[in-house]
Amino acid sequence: MKLYHDENGDPRASADGELAILADFLESDVQDDKEAAIELLQFLERKRGERTANAYTVVFDEKFVTITALEGEAQSQQISRNIFFQAVEAWIVFVGD
């Protein structure tokens, strides 16, 4: 996943394949809110849960996180908890700079 700032200085993420929806989730639902990202990781410490934000719902269990778009095409992707956790951690470091 590539993390970068656009011409306006806003944080952006891009990725191919199964991580594309995760990149879009970080941009649209977490944005540049470091505290929201930290809260998301704390929420993820539970074994199971569901969280709905601006554009996506995130459902997780012991092994996977499923990200589902709230509007548009029925877009959904299952990602390992470990990959999701690492991506959110990287986003926290990125937006914290």
**Chain segment 19-56, per-residue pLDDT in tens:** 999 999 999 999 999 998 998 888 888 888 999 988 99
Tell me the two tokens of residue 85: 């956790």
Q: What rounded mean pLDDT belongs to the chain?
A: 91
Distance CA 6, CA 75 (A): 25
- Rounded percentage of the chain residues whose pLDDT exceeds 90: 72
3-state secondary structure of 26: helix
Token output for 21: 């929806």
Containing H/E element for 93? helix 81-96
